[in-house]
Amino acid sequence: MLIYKTMVLRGSCVGELASITVGRLHLDSRQAHAGLLAKDAKAGQRALLPLREDLVDDLRDWLDEKLKARRDEQRRKAWRLRSSCRSRRPCSRCRAT
């Protein structure tokens, strides 16, 4: 849903939107924007795409959800490794002591 909202509010084409990475989002700037490289922009020139505040809020919420999910997944993986280790010494697999 966020993809469609971004396309409609920005007038971006699919290629432009697909090229935007988290590193190209500048949500804390005075004017929040997404940076496009020349090869990714419709006009063939580098561009800064201003973002509306409601879209910035949605992007922040989405990024927070993704970060939380990634952290939770890493914790689950670490827990599975520690719980499966039978070593009584520090282990290189799980770093358990």
Does the predicted model carry a pTM greater than 0.75? no
* Average pLDDT of the residues in 44-53: 86
HSE value, Cβ hemisphere, 13 Å, CA-based, for 40:
18
Question: Contact, 41 vs 33, CB < 8 A?
Answer: no
The answer on pLDDT for 97 being more than 70 is no
The enclosing H or E element of 34 equals strand 33-36
